[in-house]
Structure formats: structure tokens, C-alpha cells
Amino acid sequence: MTDRELAAAGIRDPYLRAAYTHCRRLNARHGKTYFLATRLLPVERRPAVHALYGFARWADDIVDDLGSGATPAERASRLGALQERLAAGLRSGRSPEPVVGALAHTAAVYGIDHRLFTDFMASMRSDLTVTDYATYDDLDRYMHGSAAVIGLQMLPVLGTVVPRGTAAPHAAALGVAFQLTNFVRDVGEDLDRGRIYLPADLLAAHGVDRDLLEWSRAGGFRDRRITLALRDAVALTRGVYRLAAPGLGMLDPVARPCIRTAFVLYGGILDAVADDGYAVLHRRAAVPRRRRAAVAVDGLVRLAAARRRAAGHARGTVTGPGRPAGGVQRTRERAESVPEGVA
């Protein structure tokens, strides 16, 4: 975390500065696409995004910690301990654990509904025992906690030009679209962990099951049935991106370049999967570096234009970190909960 970002966010407490810096390192190390997009946010909002990502990354690492040889019971115990630290941190606004401390501070500053973190932890716990999903509806219930809530957590930080409840369904859909993209890209790695996140009925429609996937993964063999199933999974994911797309224009203009960049780059992963012949069981698809750079430059151009417009329309009206200019609806309604049916 740079001093400039921390100062802009009004974070002066030495402990909190160290906690946010730790979260930023997690983001830079593990979330390259997300970190690149975050660089396009106004500096005062970046620490909060790093805190949200850092906590999600930490919980996910506990669930997926196979390298240490930890048993499922040991991982469940560690996840339970994290849940206790989270609950205590959200109650008090502080925590001796840096990641929880940064998250609790962010939740307090932006008025993020605590139920979103509870739902997230519930999905993390399910990963310890659930290894596949019969239907998309089953998977969607899991993704509410693992992905949709991430989009909803982000909304108060990003800000909107419409009531937050109007933008919330699109933000939730974007979180789901990003996770579905990861599921398609990482299907081989997830299989190594014993998990299949693509719905069983989607696979079965093409004659694909766990045995066929494991045979293909282990032997490096290609199978047209798997290719067709993955093509359907990509089409399903693109449909969720279409549901999310209207929400981009509902965000605070100076936050749009960040989310648009993530939208384009994550969507580009689906393009890379298709261009590589849907070979995700055998190698990881990635957006070419030149394409990533071009999208980032476009984001910078859009950000500069948004800042010029904001300065022209609302010069001198920003009152503090995370506060919008003009009519943007954001953290002034800190007690506002997520609308009924969204959380």
C-alpha cells in the first residue's frame, strides 16, 4: 500500500496502515487481473478493495490448502477460527489479525452489511464437503455466498449514480460471472482438488461425467464431448455477463473504468479458452499480455476523462475518502442494508 493511497483514505493508525498494506500484497500476488483493474480506482478507495479481496483470498486459501497436508478437519478448524475472528472484528471494528482488522475497518467506514460476510463464510465451509453440483440452481446457491456477495460488498466502495438497490442485482451478477469464468478456466485444477464446479446436468447433456474428466486430465487426452460441454459452459457464463453489463453505467463515473477493465479482461479469459480449443483440462488459458496492456491503457484514458468531468461538475464537493461528488449515492447511507431478495 502506498503512503499516498493510505493518506487519501484517511488511514493514519500505524496498525491499520500495516494491515491494509498486507492485504494489498495479497491482491498483487494472487489476483493479477483484479489488481490491475484496482489500480484504476481513485486512490482513496483502493485500500478498501484490497481489504475485501485480501479477506476472501485468505479464506479461500484455507479451503484449498492441499500443499501443507492439512486434513479436512484441520482446515475446518482453521476456517472456524477465522469465522470467530471475523465476528469479533466486525463487532468491535478492530482485530489483532491484520486481514480481519482491515476488513472490519472497511466494513465500518462503508457501512457494508455484515450478512454478506456471513454468507461468504457459509459457502467457504461448504467447499470442505461439497465436491459437485447437480444443477445450475444448486451451483447458483453456492455462488451467492462465494461470488455474488463480493459484488455487493464492493458497491458501497465503488458508489452508484442510482439507488444502491437498483444496481445491486447487476453487481451480484458480475461477481457470479467472474467466478464462472474462473470455474471454466480452472476446471483441471479444481478436478485435482476433487471438485467439479460445472453443473452435472450441463456435463451430462454431452455425455460427460467425473470419470471422463479425470481420464482426460490424467492422460492428456482430448474428447469432443468435453469440448462441447465446455462450450456450453462458456455460453452460460457470457449470459451472466450480459445480465451484469447494465450495472456498469450505474456506478460512480470515476469507478467505472476499474470495473469495466475487470469486465473486459475476465471476459477475455473466455475468449482465450475458446481460442485454445477449450483445452482447459490440460493447460491454463490466459489473456495475452499485449491485450491486457491495451485494455489497461483504455481504462486509464476513460479514467482521465471521468476525472475531468467530475472536476468540472463538482469541483470542491468531495468531503473525505470514499465520499462521492454531486448526486452519487454511496456511503452517506451507511446503515442501509442490502435490499430484500438480494442478500
pLDDT given at position 299: 65
Question: pLDDT of the chain along its 343 residues, tens only?
Answer: 478 889 988 999 999 999 999 988 887 877 666 677 788 888 999 999 999 998 998 898 888 875 667 888 888 999 999 999 999 999 998 898 999 999 999 999 999 999 999 999 999 999 999 999 999 999 999 999 999 999 999 999 999 999 999 999 999 999 999 999 999 999 999 999 999 999 999 999 999 999 999 999 999 999 999 999 999 999 999 999 999 999 999 999 999 988 998 899 999 999 999 999 999 999 999 887 777 777 767 766 776 777 677 767 654 443 333 443 333 333 333 323 333 232 2
Give the chain's end-to-end CA distance (angstroms, integer). Answer: 31
3-state SS, residue 340: coil
> Which residues is 160 bridged to in the sheet?
251, 329
String of b and e for 286-305 (b: at least 16 CB within 10 Å)?
bbeeeebeebbeebeebbee
Contacts of residue 188, defined as CB under 8 A and 6 or more positions apart, other chains included, come to 217, 280, 281, 282, 284
Burial 6-15 (b: 16+ CB within 10 A, else e): bebbebeeee
Q: Which residue shows C-alpha cell 500495516?
A: 18
In this structure, which amino acid lies at residue 140?
D
Contacts of 258 (CB under 8 A, 6+ apart): 37, 38, 39, 40, 41, 158, 299, 303
The answer to whether the beta carbons of residues 277 and 319 sit under 8 Å apart is: no
Which triple of cell numbers denotes residue 22? Answer: 498486507
Q: Give the model's pLDDT for residue 307.
A: 66
pLDDT of residue 67: 61
- Give residue 293's pLDDT: 72
Q: What pTM did the predictor assign?
A: 0.85
pLDDT reported for residue 327: 35
pLDDT for the residue 314: 54
User: Contact at 8 Å (CB) between 313 and 326?
Assistant: yes
Task: Please report the pLDDT score of residue 99 as a whole number.
Answer: 93
- Predicted confidence at residue 141, as pLDDT, reads 97
What pLDDT score was predicted for residue 337? 32
